[in-house]
Amino acid sequence: MNARLARVRRLNRGLATTLAVAGVVLTAAGVATATSARTSSSYVITATKTIDGYRVGSAFTNAKRRFGGPRSSSQDRAACVASWANGVTIAWQRRPQYVKWERACVTFVWSKVTGRLWSTDKGLRVGASQSQVKKLYNVATSKKSGAYTVWTLAKSSGNSLQAWVKGGRVSYFRVVHA
């Protein structure tokens, strides 16, 4: 009887070790997949619809799911603003009755996209010349804002895609909710 009990205990320990190792492997694979999904980037703004897969107009939780945790963030009584290392900054109107980002920051207001890796779906890049703006977006309109010329490239669903040009070059893109 003792030999049989010892054998069962050895089998149980072996099974427990196998399950623990399998759990570690699956957890590591899940973390790697989630991390790669967050870090893989196309650096493309698709008109007024998406910024590298983040659906324009959606809440902070969707931006966090797409880009990972923000590099910096702040809230005041009216707004939540979060910035990521990839050059994306997004602002949401803040719901004052909530404190946690997931519930407070749900109504999209604007985004700013900087960095030379970024382009629009038509191929306009940060750093491109103003003549390239005119060539790729021949129906775009412009207006002055301080030292910048603001080109409205596309409008849809109450949002507009803008290219902010300074010194004849695209400095950054903005998507603004009207």
What digits encode the pLDDT tens for the residues 78-118?
999 999 999 999 999 999 999 899 999 999 999 999 999 99
Q: Which pLDDT score is estimated for 15?
A: 44
The answer to whether residues 31 and 107 touch, using CB atoms and an 8 Å cutoff, is no
pLDDT value at residue 5: 54
Domain ranges of the chain: 1-40, 44-177
Q: How far is CA 54 from CA 60, 64, 148, in A?
A: 10, 9, 26
Note the pTM of the prediction, 2 decimals.
0.77
Residue 28's identity, in one-letter code, is A
∠ Cα 133 138 142 (to 5°):
65
CATH code of the region 44-177: 3.40.33.10
Looking up tokens 């009887």 gives 1
Residue 18: predicted pLDDT: 43
Please list the ranges in the chain whose pLDDT falls under 50: 11, 15-38
pLDDT given for residue 12 in this prediction: 57
Distance CA 40, CA 57 (A): 21
